[in-house]
Amino acid sequence: MANQTAPAFSLMRKACACGKRTTAKQLSQHRKCAASALAAVRDAILPSDFAKLQHMLGAVKQYPKSKWGWRNYFAAGSGQQLESMQRLVAAGLATVGRAANEMTYFHATGLGCRAAGLDGAGIKRAMEDES
């Protein structure tokens, strides 16, 4: 029961370096707000990697945002696709799945879903698809 209640200081709102307000707990754990942390992750990958992440989740313009997350996989062969997926894995945006027929399947993580712009319902859909 004691572990379920957060200390009062952790719930206090403080300003991040970017100017946004967040909880003291977030700042003490990550030294930045969630938005700044997500921006840093996006900056660590190439634009083509980000496009593959969005494709992996069905988060593309041809689908309405309410449908995003309907899929959570990307089948990568060799070469640039595989390198791109490995960068996403290194950034914590994707995980490696099974290998079949000279293809390796990759799945987005929760952080990857947030980076691709999915809302809570989209993240839930994407995470259900992975299991």
> What SS3 class is residue 11?
helix
Q: Tell me which residue of 32, 48, 51, 49 sits closest to 40, measured CA to CA.
A: 32
pLDDT band at 32 (very low <50, low <70, confident <90, very high): low
In whole angstroms, what is the distance from residue 128 CA to residue 131 CA? 6
The pLDDT tens digits for 67-112 are 999 999 999 998 899 999 999 998 889 999 999 889 999 999 998 9
| pLDDT at position 78 | 86
Based on the fold, state whether residues 98 and 64 are members of the same structural domain: yes
Based on the fold, state whether residues 64 and 96 are members of the same structural domain: yes
| pLDDT at position 94 | 94
More confident residue, 91 or 42: 91
Based on the fold, state whether residues 76 and 104 are members of the same structural domain: yes
pTM assigned to the model: 0.70
| Mean predicted confidence (pLDDT) in 31-49 | 72
Q: Look at the chain and report how many structural domains it folds into.
A: 2
Based on the fold, state whether residues 78 and 15 are members of the same structural domain: no
Based on the fold, state whether residues 69 and 123 are members of the same structural domain: yes
| pLDDT at position 26 | 62
Q: Provide CB contacts within 8 A for 64, sequence distance 6+.
A: none
Angle between the 47-56 and 80-90 helix axes, to the nearest 10 degrees? 90
Domain extent at residue 115: 45-130
